[in-house]
Amino acid sequence: MSKHYLCGNRIYLREVRETDVNDDYYMWLNDPEVNRYLETRYSVQSKEMIKKYVLDKQSNPNELFFAICLIDNDRHIGNIKLGPINWIHRKADVSLFVGAKDLWGQGYASEAISLVSSHAFNTLGLYKLKAGAYADNVGSIKAFKKCGFRKEGDLKDDVFCEGGKMDSVVLGLNIHAYKNEGDR
């Protein structure tokens, strides 16, 4: 892949590399604020575990795993994944996190979602994208909605979070809704 595989206004997406597994990445996945809504929070993440995950994703053609990087300084600020991709039904999940807390709330997640959505529909020929979020994860829900995703439902008492049960939200975007809002 080229350095700027998918390029936006302020960020570009490229494959996550083994060399990305550094102190920052390690700290993101072990920071309670960053991993609050990530399933990785249930166990301490070692650099070896993270490297294994990255290598597993690199060899899986049904999951595209991208580093979110700033154009102006190549800083790796988080990751976004498209997959698993179901090629028969032409659909995929989208999940992401921005680990660089100093950049939260500045629209980087929305820009990454927009780039991945465009790639999914315009290049890969997918029909539907789906995302899930814990009900309290307002920032993630807002980022997906900003990119045209619509709430498709609530899953009651779906997950354990912060000592209790919490609902999760299912969001979706199909190619027709995406095209009706214009190519991004």
CATH of the domain at 170: 3.40.630.30
Q: Digits of tens for pLDDT over the chain (184 positions)?
A: 445 589 999 999 999 999 999 999 899 998 888 878 777 777 778 899 999 989 999 889 999 999 999 999 999 999 999 999 999 999 999 999 999 999 999 999 999 999 999 999 999 999 999 999 989 999 999 999 999 999 999 999 988 877 889 899 999 999 999 988 754 4
Helix (H) or strand (E) holding 53: helix 47-58
How many independent structural domains does the chain possess?
Answer: 1
Q: Answer yes or no: are the C-beta atoms of 4 and 29 closer than 8 Å.
A: no
Residue 28 lies in a domain: yes
pLDDT number for residue 3: 52
Is this model's pTM higher than 0.85 or not?
yes
* Structural domain of 55: 6-180
Residue 1 lies in a domain: no
Residue 159 lies in a domain: yes
CA 129 to CA 148: how far, in whole Å? 11
CA 148 to CA 158: how far, in whole Å? 24
What would the two tokens of residue 162 be? Answer: 């912060």
pLDDT number for residue 184: 46
Q: Where are the alpha helices (DSSP H) in 78-137?
A: 108-118
| CB neighbourhood size of 138 (10 A) | 10
